[in-house]
Structure 1
Amino acid sequence: MNIAVIADDFTGANANGALLTAKGFSSATCLGLDKWDPQYFEAFTAVSLNAESRLLSRQKAWDAVYAAVKMFCAEKPALISKRVDSTLRGNVGAEIEAAVKAMDDSYGHEESLAVLVPSYPSSGRICVGGYQIVHGVPLERSPIAQDAATPVKDTSVLKIFAEQSTMKCGFVPLEKILGGPAAVRQAIEDLRAEGCRVVVCDAVADEDITTIAQSLADAPYPLVSVDPGPFTAELAAVRVQAPRSQFENRVFLAVGSTSELTRVQMEALRLAHPCHLVPMNVSKILTGKDEAASECARVLDVVCTPPAGTTVLGVCTAANKEDVFSLDEMSKKMNLTHSEISQRINEAIANVTDEVLRREVLRIGGLYTSGGEVTVSVIRTLKAGGFTVRDQVLPLAVYGHIIGGVQADLPMITKGGFVGDKNSLVECVEYLFTKISTRKRPS
């Protein structure tokens, strides 16, 4: 186990596990302290434990988190995380204090630091000026303030913490975060020198969370990452070597659709994941066999030399607005029927896909295809007999495994080219990542 997460409820524990899985760590959730048995979890690199502490009294929550952190410290993880609710419900201050105290006692010194990044931008939670904002509304004016079990009556993160702990807490404002990792690290070290054991950081975007994580990549003292999940995932990625290099950790996209929606979906994907999507010159594919073969060879060569850190590879026909073309216009220009144009493009994409999947060094663990005709062409080129339908990821986006052929049992999602909204491709790719995180290519 490299990463230990102590959550205050079961859904939170699972949510953190999913984010860590997407970073390449094999994750599991332990139902409670009384259920912990190292032999059950030794195969996992990240374990989230449900301390069930959100609804406990403050002292009982303190005791539960202290016991959980002490127990995990004995396993010598590289990173310990205290998962908190994204709206700061429950015993946030008491639990952070308990985690820091447990680490102090475990390591025999008082150098441990808790870094609280309460933001979850993709869920509409941000922290700016030390205030927690939920979908543009101050926390105390959100529905959370009226929560029957754990209402939150303040918007200031530092005040919420101070109500439950006397431990000294510092604050790193957005201005410092925007200054980059070095500026953030200096701000944190200055606060540590003042005796702060807990530091709250602003963050309004995923990039801010990454910056904070990078600032602590080589921090020599024990850290407790405190957040709803994203910060822990980013900190784990920079501080712990994920074992994913052993696994098939990349997804390949075969995108035949030329719709504007598909192009927008690819743009959203580029913002969410390190992508290497290579556009195919359709005119060259349609000019003749020699030109088509040359263009496929070029695309294959580019696809197979991705930048370091790339997790999504692919071939497409419309990477930019100017690439989107009309079948009618292309038909007149090339003197080909719609069917002939479609067939040639689909075959070219399928041939490149086949060659890429054979390159074991690329470690492609999942396949995504967009457009019904290109999907059929790809499956036939892979000499497959069919496709097992296992789940509906989105309406008209289906997950399954390839049956037979040269890529038997390969996880795959197929989606219509005119299906979904701008984030649908991101959802499909992230779904594939959760499915392939522990898959190894058979030897």
Structure 2
Amino acid sequence: MSEVLIIGDDLTGSNGTAVQFTGAGLRSVTLRSDTPAEAVRTYRQEYDTLVLVTDSRHLPAAEAAAVCADMVDLAWPARFVSSRCDSTLRGNVGPETEAILASVRARGVRAVGLCMPAFPGANRQTVGGLQYMGGVRLEETELAREVRSPMTTSSVEDILRAGTQLTVTTIELPLVTGPFEDLVAAFRAALASGSDGTGPDVIVTDAFTDEHLARAARAAIAADPEVMWVGIDPGPGSLAIATAMGLSGSTGAPPLLAVSGSATDLTIAQLAALREHRTVHVVKPVYPQASWIPDVDRTARAVRRALEKAGSGDVVLLASVLEATDIVDLGETAANALPVRLGRITADVLGTHAVGGLYTTGGDITTAVLEAIGGHGIEVEEEVVPLAALGTVVGGPHSGIPVVTKGGLVGSEDTACVCLDRLSAAADLRSRTGL
């Protein structure tokens, strides 16, 4: 029985969205809008995700709205509904959103649009309520010269309001990336806003990473679990909502393991940002009495316990220094032994527990981890940021596992988050495809 209904305005984009839902373990089918009603009802019984393609991007607004309303009528009920739009917001985004919201509300459901048009994998970002393509405003790209749908603005609110009566508000990046409880409070405030306290028709949220989309989706549902959040986006945002609702059919990649033995101020700041913006399970090395050389067995047990508690996409962080107060004068013997012990702990853990990928910071740590797990080297695939690379382990029992390596004094405060975002995507791909 289909729990997810996606109404898409063109075939290729809708197929791309269907692939994302299939990758999350939800069997998905894409159907043309002229598919007979009886066939649609049959497919509803066979697939988790029903994607109905309207080919309405370049129709007159009223026609586009009418066909979208018909699609809701044809495929209802559903636990989650999405209005799949172009990643550059061309076409009848506002009228189609208005029609779908009205159709869902006509069934006695409190429906609010959650518009998260960022598509990190396609280099589309939403910042300050503006949509960017490769960091450039839409109206400053070649889309401004498109014949059928010229883009004259990058304001997501203006695009949604064009030709509609929709009320729209935006939650911007500082809230999306800040403390989670503040983000939940922002959603609650938005839902209670307005003269009648009913809130807006649509809430737009900034994002430029998949984790931003996931945080916003989780916060929206936490703000009011009774609201049906209708996705308005090119696919990743709706997948984030469905996943936050627990509709994902797969367990996803195992948790990620990050290993840090650096005591620099920059590393401390990077790990603090990581803990603030991702779900991180922290493990500090266990030291024997009167020694600063980690106990391998006891620390490995602590890491394994953390992995058992962690969910897909979570990070288990093994770090010797998290705060300035953790810094001690190790002495030469302990300083030399620390990377070796962290490598042995990593190898011990990988011997019994799967991880989706490894993140190591610092050349000594990376070398020690690679040696301990029996890796001959790393097949380098891409630069994540300067002096931080994504690749896979080559050789040994853990050959093929994704790894991101970063120098200890590399990057800015958000670099660990960027690296773990990229590692998470690589781990998810390997989990889905085996590649």
**Structure 2 length as normaliser, TM-score?**
0.68
SS in 2 for 1:364: coil
5 Å matches for 1:71-220? 73=75, 78-84=79-85, 90-100=91-101, 109=107, 111=109, 113-117=111-115, 123=125, 125-126=127-128, 132=129, 147-149=144-146, 150-152=150-152, 157=157, 161=160, 163-165=162-164, 169=166, 179=185, 199-201=201-203, 210-219=218-227
Contact 1:249 1:433 in 2 (8 A): no
Gaps of 5+ in 2: 172-181
Distance change in 2, residues 1:111/1:124 (3 Å): closer
SS in 1 for 2:201: strand
5 Å matches for 1:251-266? 251-266=256-271
SS in 2 for 1:433: helix
Q: Which letter does structure 1 place at the counterpart of 2:403?
A: M
Distance change in 2, residues 1:101/1:275 (3 Å): same
Structure 1 residue 252: Cα displacement:
0.5
Q: Which letter does structure 1 place at the counterpart of 2:280?
A: C
1:416 aligned residue: 407
1:129 aligned residue: none
Q: Which letter does structure 2 place at the counterpart of 1:147?
A: A
SS in 1 for 2:83: strand
- Choose the corresponding residue for 2:331, options 326, 329, 334: 334
Contact 1:18 1:434 in 2 (8 A): no
Structure 1 residue 35: Cα displacement:
13
- Choose the corresponding residue for 1:277, options 261, 276, 282: 282
Structure 1 residue 423: Cα displacement:
2.6
Contact 1:32 1:51 in 2 (8 A): no
SS in 1 for 2:300: helix
SS in 1 for 2:293: helix
1:292 aligned residue: 293
SS in 1 for 2:269: helix
SS in 2 for 1:408: coil
- Provide the C-alpha distance between the structure 2 equivalents of 1:253 and 1:398, rounded to a whole number of angstroms: 14
Structure 1 residue 374: Cα displacement:
1.9
SS in 2 for 1:406: coil
- Choose the corresponding residue for 2:343, options 350, 367, 377: 350
**Which shifted more, 61-70 or 381-390?**
61-70
2:238 aligned residue: 232
2:179 aligned residue: none
Contact 2:285 2:294 in 1 (8 A): no
Distance change in 2, residues 1:391/1:28 (3 Å): farther
Distance change in 2, residues 1:391/1:29 (3 Å): farther
- Choose the corresponding residue for 1:405, options 396, 411, 431: 396
Contact 2:310 2:316 in 1 (8 A): no
Structure 1 residue 275: Cα displacement:
0.7
- Provide the C-alpha distance between the structure 2 equivalents of 1:426 and 1:14, rounded to a whole number of angstroms: 30
Distance change in 2, residues 1:312/1:173 (3 Å): closer
1:373 aligned residue: 364
CA distances 1:134-154 after superposition (whole Å, capped 9, x unpaired): 79xxxx99859x934434569
1:425 aligned residue: 416
Contact 1:217 1:235 in 2 (8 A): no
SS in 2 for 1:304: helix
1:303 aligned residue: 303
Contact 1:83 1:226 in 2 (8 A): yes
Q: Which letter does structure 2 place at the counterpart of 1:211?
A: A
- Provide the C-alpha distance between the structure 1 equivalents of 2:109 and 2:69, rounded to a whole number of angstroms: 17
2:324 aligned residue: 321
Gaps of 5+ in 1: 127-131
- Provide the C-alpha distance between the structure 2 equivalents of 1:35 and 1:102, rounded to a whole number of angstroms: 19
CA distances 1:85-105 after superposition (whole Å, capped 9, x unpaired): 68865422211134346658x
SS in 2 for 1:243: coil
Distance change in 2, residues 1:411/1:141 (3 Å): closer
- Provide the C-alpha distance between the structure 1 equivalents of 2:138 and 2:396, rounded to a whole number of angstroms: 57
- Choose the corresponding residue for 1:268, options 268, 273, 280: 273
Contact 1:254 1:315 in 2 (8 A): yes
Contact 1:177 1:202 in 2 (8 A): no
SS in 1 for 2:281: strand
Distance change in 2, residues 1:370/1:28 (3 Å): farther
SS in 2 for 1:390: strand
**Structure 1 length as normaliser, TM-score?**
0.67
- Provide the C-alpha distance between the structure 1 equivalents of 2:119 and 2:272, rounded to a whole number of angstroms: 18
- Do residues 58 (structure 1) and 61 (structure 2) align? yes
Structure 1 residue 431: Cα displacement:
1.8
SS in 2 for 1:437: helix
Structure 1 residue 125: Cα displacement:
2.7
Contact 1:279 1:315 in 2 (8 A): yes
- Provide the C-alpha distance between the structure 2 equivalents of 1:269 and 1:11, rounded to a whole number of angstroms: 36
CA distances 1:321-378 after superposition (whole Å, capped 9, x unpaired): 34457xxxx4xx6254xxx733x11111112212222343xx4211122223322221
Q: Which letter does structure 2 place at the counterpart of 1:249?
A: P
- Provide the C-alpha distance between the structure 2 equivalents of 1:429 and 1:270, rounded to a whole number of angstroms: 11
Contact 2:139 2:153 in 1 (8 A): no
Structure 1 residue 312: Cα displacement:
0.2
- Provide the C-alpha distance between the structure 1 equivalents of 2:355 and 2:130, rounded to a whole number of angstroms: 39
**Which shifted more, 251-260 or 394-403?**
394-403
**Which shifted more, 234-243 or 46-55?**
46-55
Q: Which letter does structure 2 place at the counterpart of 1:81?
A: S
Distance change in 2, residues 1:370/1:7 (3 Å): farther
Contact 1:14 1:29 in 2 (8 A): no
1:434 aligned residue: 425
